[in-house]
Structure 1
């Protein structure tokens, strides 16, 4: 099915206006098909011609204004609509297929109990896989539904469903929605129901949490924290936006096999069910979940109530939700998410912004929906959020929020674009922001900031960008001696800060790479620095310097292992020791040195484990990292048998699977099948898939490679798990030939794989760990192909860039 071209979307929007969409579904038939009837009312310029999007398995019939349309006119996912009237009614009846890739109407049969669960994912262009529609973001319309489902099921959607008779559900018309927001959640879901009330809200808001029955205990256990974060988010956004929550009930469904972290469907957010933790959990995981909950809640206003016109402005959704979620969680919950933003999210975005595939935050010129999806990355999220944080500092928080309120009020239930938002800020008192937008939103890449002991702050990059930041001077022991705020304009500035170690952006408030004098050689301890944001900046500087071959990974590893065990923040500890295990002892190490370097990481994880209080988050983090890095198979097997466990700790199935997976990677796969007998969950199948893919035997590798390189009926998550386990760094020397086959085979998986799943499998399986010059040359040759799908090209471009950085670093520091 061809991707919708922007020119086609503009032409269709100029021709028609959609008044309403009614979707009738029958989900009671046996097998892998269901019936869908879409009735679309729309106005048009009389005599015009357009098309409707339909990606069913069989077109059963289509009528325009009472006249049948020829079923054989349906081609490439489009039904032509000729000779339109001023007022039109289109009825499209189709036989549709349930999906197994997390898009369209996805069906999951829970291996734990055999129950069937459905949910719909319409992003980015998957809506036509379950109902006919004019699938573009600027043709919003009210949605109503009639759903016939098996008796005893729960049915949820973008508004309140009513069961009018057993198994027959009706959804009253919603406010206008873009088609990519439309969802349906149906099945024998377990539920926790509650209510939110506030003087700011239009009335009481029904709250619902839902998950499959095999996760009912986890849902009930986690519900208090989830509901508390949801209420805090609703309070915060009512204060920030001064507009009541606009979509009636607010459901959050934790669904299986979900591709993304979550999806902001108005009134019925879908989230991956891994957020209902099956094992011992730290505040880091709960903080990540809190960020996701508040992110999707922010979308109810920013994205759902006001929606971008075209995918170029996807950042108007994601950057704002990212910024607001971290702001709300940091200000109002117990989760320190600005630390998470710096050490995790900004690092993700920084890698994307330094890759050849980098792009501006806004206005990327996406010619079609597929190209826009390829640019859905850390720039859209983390860089955009950092840039918004800078803007709030530049124009002041009051003006920043007043502009957002003007924007939401003015374009509610409609569509808008970047220029509209800039005008809203101008009306609020920000003045002309055209220059700011050109410098920050319409350029790519990031500046590099460094400071000399004499206080001179130097910038390499685009001098049009203003940086509002703090500069701090540190003593050799990490004590902060001085700190001042400056606004950097031009190439360099005198900060007035003097010291042997001067740190630019000490509060981690802007978007830039940071370098410090002598590569931190004069600093005895990063962990001793009081400000966690300054520590984030310095750790990120080390990671970035390694990736750019400015710092020997062996020296970086020495620094990490000498320092990180004393890091006060669990968030930072886990991220940086994880970086040591996955990168410094992995792809950035020569093949012959990897096992020795990983053993040093394991020794540091042992220190963290031993120093952690029994039952504490720190102890669990140390244990989890030790399991990932240990080569002591006897000890690992002993833990699996329940002997020698850390004080105050018990095994759960998630920890067991971590040990089983590590043992399989080390060559002992005898524990996989017994664990599957013990744990019959969908999560267990995913763990087993990863463990099998990690086995070192040639036959096992060939089997795993066949799963990702050939058409497979495996659920999406088992496919992803197989992809992620195929090329572990410790086996790289034996996997060179398989990596060469990867480049010869994987680009052509477009024959049977599409959209999200296509890109995800390529990214997760890219053999960056096999970091040889010959493999890099093969990657470059593959990129020179002229027939690559945009998602394939993007995954190859990013993977090849990582591979090139690995090879360059190893060659420079060998």
Structure 2
């Protein structure tokens, strides 16, 4: 993010300006440090004689003129535009810095072959790092890009190119004018990319065949690993589903998907050219969970083509309109159009757990958030904006019906196509379609904070049947809203070794207590599952007998979604210090073999290891960790050789291994000889690094072994993982060297994230205690110096661990009082403190 535009400034500029076109010429042949950017903007002003500003950040302005009159270059990335006419032309020519932080036009040199790759990333307000513009979402315009690039490069933008001509030093690419877009959605991808081509051809609307050219791109050194056919298959399925569901053809012509290096996000929904992290190019074996996650991301970004790109939020307060909808739509389309038909199970166990965690922090915020400026927006790309918002939409759909919901969306798209909209506009479409005033729903769900808790309160007669049954709702003291919930209650019986549903009742609950007469006279059974089918967003507490059933027999619950809901319930109990972390790990070990959903399995294994490392008391931890690792190894040995299940278990075992015997298994896997215990395990590049990291954490691998591994894998991924290994060496010297790398502020962000994970290995709590105060000192020094993305990464990743002997809450309050950081940074530090307080409360139980 470059400048920090405020909402008030954006509103004033929006009232003043109507922007028509950007003609942007880029010369990418001018050297490794800067590129030439020449921009002509044509726009109208509603009040001739008024003044405003345009943005261009990180540039040496060579020429700036408004309506033929020269302008000063401007300061702090803003070019003042005085004395506007009714119709205006702004021309700006500049040499602009390439980015190495993932913002603006990012430049990357592949360490494997020396090839150079570029990609742009403009959300939330970084288009100004590539061309002069009015960088806010509601000033939409058409873009005409012309790009001069080296002769062997491919250049991609939102629209298709209309010509490529040879020029001195390379080739000039001319692109067709785009449809009207927000600045943050413009895109340029350039470099010697490998390109796989395909086509979507179908008649999903029954109005004639729709043809969409498809391409998938990655850099040349990853091409041998690029499964473009799988990616394009998911893409075609998504187009079938969305065009049918939304009643509208894909609006942007062609559809490119570029997997680009050093990308800061999972993906970005640029219309016509979506960009993705290269994490989704699998150079090593992965489990089906990774394939499901990639498919979810592909479908999430595709949903944005309608919700976000065709119809765009007016300001970032309504970011949730984009992200919550796309998250919900991705799960819906995965379930309806792909092989991941249990995507709602993944959503229930993985996505919702993140939402519940975020919503219980002191920094929680409404889904429809108050965003006064751009920096406040950046930290709102969180689990409330994405997962809680999607959960609330799922609850709304359970209430009004999926077809009614989709019909309202069709109204919304048709009414606001190519424009901008607000929450009120969506509520209007929902009200018109349902005949209900949706303002009350919005007030309850979108404008309040904190999760409710639901529990069953019942009595049994002498036969074991319900003589009374009610759902009791409560709310946290600081967030007292009680909401209307659409829920299902399932009664489950143990039959022939399976726990199966006998009766399901669906109803609306509201207020502190809702009677459920439909269950009177029903036999209690073995499990009373509140929020069966995961319809609403709420924490759930089970009655004692039902909890005993879940803890003892969760693997025998026959329905995958009911099982996922149950896993979420017991993880929440751990987080609220109501269930022993060691007991949770035991339940995972007993039940994970029956989990069919690869993503749920991955989440459970990660949570089990985390629970033991973070929440088990220090004197009990070694024995608990050894027991868990032994269990994981036993499961891996028993799993089908070479299966996804075996790989997931081996990965988890590697993170938990601690005893000499367990570490010897890792040594054997890392050696050329392997181990006979784990037949079928392929020790490829990424698994080798995981094995080496564990040896580094436990003091069995030093710099020489890490250097040798990096020499064998000199890729950027190898560099990232080597940085984690170096930082994980348990010595003061290694930690000091790693810390100095952190504070130098030059590591790529992905490398910094890996290295921070290694530095703060759970086993090194005492070793890193000396950096608790240093963390706050660094934040004080760099908050206004580093790019905000780097500050955010450091603020999150370097907050000291809960087991530190330092008084972290006191140090946090001292830092906040003395440094007076901006609200967005204050929030990140408080979230670190909240997690420490929660962990310590669990440890104290």
Q: What TM-score do the two structures reach when normalised by structure 2? A: 0.93
In the other structure, the counterpart of 2:356 is 350
Q: Residue 410 of structure 1: which of 411, 415, 435 is its match?
A: 415
In the other structure, the counterpart of 1:180 is 184
Q: Secondary structure at the match of 1:507?
A: helix
Q: CA RMSD of the aligned region, Å? A: 1.8
Q: Secondary structure at the match of 2:692?
A: helix
The offset of 1:380, in angstroms, is 0.6
- Is residue 735–residue 770 contact of structure 1 (8 Å, CA) maintained in 2? no
Q: Residue 53 of structure 1: which of 52, 55, 58 is its match?
A: 55
Measure the CA separation in 2 of the matches of 1:803 and 1:390.
32
The offset of 1:662, in angstroms, is 1.0
1:340 correspondence with 2:371:
no
Q: Deviations over 1:454-498 (max 9, x none)?
A: 332211125652211211233477443432212112212233263
In the other structure, the counterpart of 1:234 is 239
1:112 correspondence with 2:112:
yes
User: Aligned residues, how many?
Assistant: 805
Q: Deviations over 1:258-281 (max 9, x none)?
A: 111000001000000110101112
Q: Residue 796 of structure 1: which of 829, 837, 840 is its match?
A: 829
In the other structure, the counterpart of 1:688 is 722
In the other structure, the counterpart of 2:64 is 62
Superposed, which structure 2 residues align to 1:290-369 within 5 Å? 290-335=295-340, 336-362=342-368, 364-369=369-374
The alpha-carbon distance between structure 1 residues 766 and 78, as it changes in their structure 2 partners (threshold 3 A), is same
Which deviates more from structure 2 when the two are superposed, residues 552-561 or residues 261-270?
552-561
In the other structure, the counterpart of 2:602 is 574
- Is residue 739–residue 770 contact of structure 1 (8 Å, CA) maintained in 2? no
Superposed, which structure 2 residues align to 1:270-669 within 5 Å? 270-335=275-340, 336-362=342-368, 364-454=369-459, 455-461=469-475, 464-475=482-493, 478-495=499-516, 496=519, 498-499=524-525, 501-518=527-544, 520-523=547-550, 524-582=552-610, 584-631=611-658, 632-642=662-672, 643-644=674-675, 646-667=678-699, 668-669=701-702
The offset of 1:551, in angstroms, is 2.6
- Is residue 72–residue 79 contact of structure 2 (8 Å, CA) maintained in 1? no
Measure the CA separation in 1 of the matches of 2:777 and 2:627.
36
In the other structure, the counterpart of 2:813 is 780
In the other structure, the counterpart of 1:131 is 131
- Is residue 235–residue 298 contact of structure 2 (8 Å, CA) maintained in 1? yes
Measure the CA separation in 2 of the matches of 1:663 and 1:553.
25
The offset of 1:95, in angstroms, is 1.3
- Is residue 267–residue 277 contact of structure 2 (8 Å, CA) maintained in 1? yes
Superposed, which structure 2 residues align to 1:160-239 within 5 Å? 160-166=160-166, 167-199=171-203, 200=205, 203-219=210-226, 222-239=227-244
The offset of 1:590, in angstroms, is 2.4
Q: Secondary structure at the match of 2:718?
A: helix
Q: Which runs of 5+ in 2 are unaligned?
A: 460-468
Q: Which runs of 5+ in 1 are unaligned?
A: none
Measure the CA separation in 2 of the matches of 1:628 and 1:370.
35
Measure the CA separation in 1 of the matches of 2:146 and 2:728.
46
Q: Secondary structure at the match of 1:597?
A: helix
- Is residue 765–residue 801 contact of structure 2 (8 Å, CA) maintained in 1? no
Q: Deviations over 1:318-375 (max 9, x none)?
A: 011000110000111111211111121111111111111111111x221111112222
Q: Residue 673 of structure 1: which of 707, 713, 725 is its match?
A: 707
The offset of 1:633, in angstroms, is 2.9
The alpha-carbon distance between structure 1 residues 225 and 500, as it changes in their structure 2 partners (threshold 3 A), is same
- Is residue 366–residue 447 contact of structure 2 (8 Å, CA) maintained in 1? yes
Q: Deviations over 1:563-598 (max 9, x none)?
A: 33443433322211211112x112212234333222
In the other structure, the counterpart of 2:20 is 19
Q: Secondary structure at the match of 1:401?
A: helix
Q: Deviations over 1:117-136 (max 9, x none)?
A: 00000011111111110000
Q: Deviations over 1:592-648 (max 9, x none)?
A: 433322212211211220221112111111111111111233321211113215212
- Is residue 463–residue 490 contact of structure 1 (8 Å, CA) maintained in 2? no
Which deviates more from structure 2 when the two are superposed, residues 591-600 or residues 404-413?
591-600
Q: Secondary structure at the match of 1:37?
A: strand
- Is residue 585–residue 609 contact of structure 2 (8 Å, CA) maintained in 1? no
The alpha-carbon distance between structure 1 residues 702 and 112, as it changes in their structure 2 partners (threshold 3 A), is same
In the other structure, the counterpart of 2:93 is 93
- Is residue 628–residue 656 contact of structure 2 (8 Å, CA) maintained in 1? yes
- Is residue 25–residue 147 contact of structure 2 (8 Å, CA) maintained in 1? yes
Measure the CA separation in 1 of the matches of 2:624 and 2:743.
32
In the other structure, the counterpart of 1:75 is 75
In the other structure, the counterpart of 1:30 is 31
Q: What TM-score do the two structures reach when normalised by structure 1? A: 0.96
The offset of 1:499, in angstroms, is 4.2
- Is residue 135–residue 184 contact of structure 2 (8 Å, CA) maintained in 1? yes
Aligned structure 1 segments of 4 or more residues deviating by more than 6 angstroms: none
